[in-house]
């Protein structure tokens, strides 16, 4: 059984959430098409590894942490070894007792963050970042129980949203949405030692956070914040948060209209045309968010 666990960990298939892959030339790129055969294989391997973990939690944890320590020391470092290990770690979420899972996850994330700090090269950092995002997204129970850790993870995702390496921003936005959907109530209450809810802090720094995102990524980000606002039970606060959320796109729209009054040719600019299409999507997003949030009052 122990040898089988190691085999599964070393050969774990790629889960659907991971968007960063190595191409045939050895470059790290964004995945453009899902391989259904790989997804089926992942589901079968995940189920098998969960059963193996139930049979002996201690051996599963020991083998995973040992392989991770070899990544840190450089003894076993390469993209494939780190990927399969982290995909295996993420796949066994919920298979341990909560106390054991908490201790295990803290050690895993600590080591992955250290690995990200000491490793050089944008491709290497992109691979490590994708694994950090995948693992934390798989353990919402732990995140809900540990606010400071949850906040650290979300702020790390905001950092990744400024990383222009292919796939990193998309995965950061997708992971943020996944975490918010599972932990949304935590973002609208004032946590111990803080003066305001996280959602209010987020809205204050919104322009900086989304500055480097593409329109479709911003839409995902806004959808995430919409889920946060929906968790707020005070209707007056909901209204305030929604207004603050939509201030940025409408300020940009007002600027475009002001420029157009001076010269209609301004509207022919390709960037402006792109923004106008994006603005139409903003309106649809605003209506859907508004209806969703206040429909659940």
The pLDDT score that the predictor gives to residue 165 is 84
Domain that holds residue 183: 161-297
Alpha-carbon gap, residue 50 to 256, rounded angstroms: 54
Q: Which residue has the higher pLDDT, 33 or 71?
A: 71
Question: Where does a domain end: 71, 103, 138?
Answer: 138
Average pLDDT of span 204-213: 93
E strands, 64-152, where?
none
E strands, the chain, where?
20-22, 28-30
Same domain, 80 and 37: yes
Same domain, 168 and 232: yes
For helices 36-55 and 79-91, give the axis angle rounded to 10 degrees: 60
Same domain, 201 and 237: yes
Radius of gyration of the chain (CA): 21
Same domain, 175 and 296: yes
Residues 6+ apart with CB under 8 A from 122: 165
The pLDDT score that the predictor gives to residue 181 is 95
Q: Which residue has the higher pLDDT, 154 or 293?
A: 154
Paired with 30 in beta bridges are 20
The pLDDT score that the predictor gives to residue 128 is 92
CA triplet 74, 76, 78: central angle to 5 degrees? 90
Tokens describing residue 119: 């490793």
The pLDDT score that the predictor gives to residue 257 is 65
Q: Is residue 32 part of a domain?
A: yes
Same domain, 126 and 167: no
Same domain, 133 and 166: no
Band of pLDDT at residue 236, cut at 50, 70 and 90: very high
Q: Is residue 174 part of a domain?
A: yes
Same domain, 184 and 269: yes
Same domain, 90 and 26: yes
Residue 220, SS3?
A: helix
Residues 6+ apart with CB under 8 A from 136: 109, 143, 153, 175, 179
Q: Mind listing the pLDDT tens digit for each residue in 264-293?
A: 665 666 665 555 455 444 554 554 555 455
The structure's pTM equals 0.81
Alpha-carbon gap, residue 131 to 151, rounded angstroms: 18
Q: Mind listing the pLDDT tens digit for each residue in 50-91?
A: 999 999 999 999 999 999 999 999 898 999 999 999 999 999
State the total domains in the chain.
2
The pLDDT score that the predictor gives to residue 269 is 67
Q: Is residue 148 part of a domain?
A: no
CA distances for 263 relative to 95, 178, 194, 240, 255, angstroms: 63, 43, 48, 35, 13
Average pLDDT value for the chain = 86
């Amino acid at each position: 059984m122990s040898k089988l666990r190691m085999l599964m960990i070393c050969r774990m298939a790629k889960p659907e959430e991971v968007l960063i892959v190595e191409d045939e030339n050895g470059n790290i790129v964004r995945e453009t098409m899902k391989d259904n055969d790989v997804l089926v294989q992942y589901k079968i391997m995940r189920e098998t590894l969960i059963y193996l973990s139930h049979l002996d939690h201690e051996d599963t944890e020991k083998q995973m942490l040992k392989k991770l320590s070899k990544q840190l020391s450089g003894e076993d470092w390469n993209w494939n070894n780190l990927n399969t290990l982290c995909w295996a770690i993420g796949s066994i979420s919920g298979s341990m007792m909560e106390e054991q899972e908490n201790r295990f996850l803290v050690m895993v994330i600590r080591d992955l963050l250290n690995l990200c700090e000491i490793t050089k090269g944008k491709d290497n950092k992109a691979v490590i970042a994708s694994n950090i995002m995948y693992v934390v997204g798989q353990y919402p129970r732990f995140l809900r129980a540990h606010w400071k850790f949850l906040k650290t993870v979300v702020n790390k995702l905001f950092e990744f949203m400024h990383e222009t390496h292919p796939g990193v921003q998309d995965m950061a936005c997708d992971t943020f949405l996944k975490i918010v959907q599972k932990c949304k109530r935590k973002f609208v209450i004032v946590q111990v030692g803080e003066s305001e809810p996280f959602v209010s802090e987020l809205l204050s720094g919104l322009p900086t956070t989304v500055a480097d995102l593409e329109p479709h990524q911003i839409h995902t980000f806004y959808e995430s914040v919409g889920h946060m606002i929906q968790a707020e039970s005070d209707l007056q606060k909901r209204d305030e948060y929604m207004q603050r959320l939509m201030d940025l796109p409408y300020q940009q729209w007002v600027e475009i209209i002001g420029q157009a009054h001076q010269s209609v040719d301004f509207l022919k600019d390709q960037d402006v045309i792109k923004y106008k299409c994006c603005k139409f999507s903003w309106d649809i997003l605003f209506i859907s968010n508004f209806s969703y949030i206040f429909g659940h009052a």
